[in-house]
Structure 1
Amino acid sequence: MQFDDVILGRRSIRGYKPDPVPRAVIEEVLTLAMRAPSSMNTQPYHFHVIAGEALDRIRAGNTERNLAGVPHSREFRTGEAFVGRHRDRQLFTAMGIARDDAAARQGWVLRGFRQFDAPVCVIITYDRALAASDDTAFDCGAVATALVNAAWSRGLGAVINSQGIMQSPVVREHAAIPDDQVIMKSIALGWPDDSFPANAVVSERRPVAEVAVFVGFNE
């Protein structure tokens, strides 16, 4: 793919085929992703690539604990829920989920807890020693963006999420994440299921004129 085709064509994928993803392809994707810039080339991130039985155990433990009312234990900072224009309702519309359909909405939440049933989950962590640096979160965000774009260039779909790591003790145990790393984000990864309605959603972007201020230009 050409660069523009990747950037303009990529979508967040929340429905996947069950087909496994070859490790060699994932290694290609990670190699490309790690070309993302990081402050002073610190490269603070680590990738824990999970599939098979280990991923099934994370799905089950994450879902069971959340349904049991165990408070979430996300390790990276969290804020208030998005509201108003910052909350995207397109997915519920695409899936035909009505505002008052509590069961269907609950089903959607459970999909998130299960990493959207993707065959692969990439958990991004960073060195705990760098936790106080603002650059660390920025650098991890940059590599996550590069990762989903690199995946798309190889025909893979992905969605960056936090639902799949709500219960960090479960994730730590089954992904064998050491204590000197902080769990930041997870990325569901796999071959897109084109028949899944939410995969057709293309999020709109604001025009440049609305978000950019140009200073010092004569034209």
Structure 2
Amino acid sequence: MDFEELVNTRRSVRGFKSEPVPRSVIEEIIKVAKRAPSSMNTQPWHLHVLTGEPLERVRQRNMEEMLAGAKPKRDIVSHGEYQGVHRKRQVDIAKQLFAVMGIARDDKPMRQDWVLRGFRQFDAPVSLVLTYDRILDPGATCHFDLGALCYGIVLAAWNRGLGSVINGQGITRSDIVREVASIPEDQVIMTCVAMGYPDDSFPANAVTSDREANHDFVRYVGFRD
């Protein structure tokens, strides 16, 4: 796919077919994504790719813990609830998703079910857990590097007909992910990417989020035109 077409058509996928994703395809995706830039070529990332029974255990335990009222236990520091314009953008996309899914504002069971889908990593057949070496904490620089890797993953996946969504809810209980996937203690769990073949009959998959106009967030300094 042409690069600009790839970037402009990619969207977050939240409904997947049960069809398994071949390991060879995931290998191809990672081979492309690892060309992402990193600070001084440190390549601080690790990937733990889950599928099948281990992934089912992660999503089931994650969902059960959150249903029981357990507090999040992430390795990285959370920013808390969004405020201001960031909250507005969050609400705007939620309204779009709830509208196409037929979830009414006062329908608490359906709204909770949607949240639980996130904790289950949207029932995707594959989850890629992104970690970095704990020795690099506080990790602002390597967070940036893993963001570049993550974007490379979702683009390379889309180019191969695979959908994905970057899914922080999936590692809300990082301790569970670490235990099931045997992730070493010297690695920090940052986020995960839910991945699989898109289910085109799932309404939310048709939603594309808006982007602000350039003039709302870009300044040009020193240009004559």
Report TM bin, short chain.
over 0.9
Calculate percent identity across the aligned residue pairs. Answer: 54
Structure 1 CA distance, aligned partners of 2:221 and 2:191?
A: 35
Superimposed CA distance per residue, residues 186-214 of structure 1 (whole angstroms, 9 cap, x where no aligned partner): 11000000110110001111121222111
Structure 2 CA distance, aligned partners of 1:190 and 1:100?
A: 31
Structure 1 CA distance, aligned partners of 2:144 and 2:176?
A: 26
Q: Where does 1:1-219 land on structure 2 (aligned, <5 Å)?
A: 1-83=1-83, 84-87=87-90, 88-89=93-94, 90-219=96-225
Count how many residue pairs are aligned between Structure 1 and Structure 2.
Answer: 219
TM-score computed with the length of structure 2 as normaliser: 0.94
TM-score computed with the length of structure 1 as normaliser: 0.97
AA in 1 matched with 2:70: V
Unaligned runs of 5+ in 1: none
AA in 1 matched with 2:71: P
Deviation of 1:173 after TM superposition, in Å, equals: 1.3
Unaligned runs of 5+ in 2: none
Structure 2 CA distance, aligned partners of 1:113 and 1:132?
A: 26
Moved more, 27-36 or 90-99: 90-99
Structure 2 CA distance, aligned partners of 1:217 and 1:39?
A: 28
Moved more, 48-57 or 134-143: 134-143
Deviation of 1:170 after TM superposition, in Å, equals: 1.3
Deviation of 1:52 after TM superposition, in Å, equals: 0.3
AA in 1 matched with 2:216: E
Moved more, 206-215 or 51-60: 206-215
Structure 2 CA distance, aligned partners of 1:93 and 1:43?
A: 41
Runs of 4+ in 1 over 6 A off after TM superposition: none
AA in 2 matched with 1:192: P
RMSD across aligned positions (CA) = 1.0
Moved more, 196-205 or 92-101: 92-101
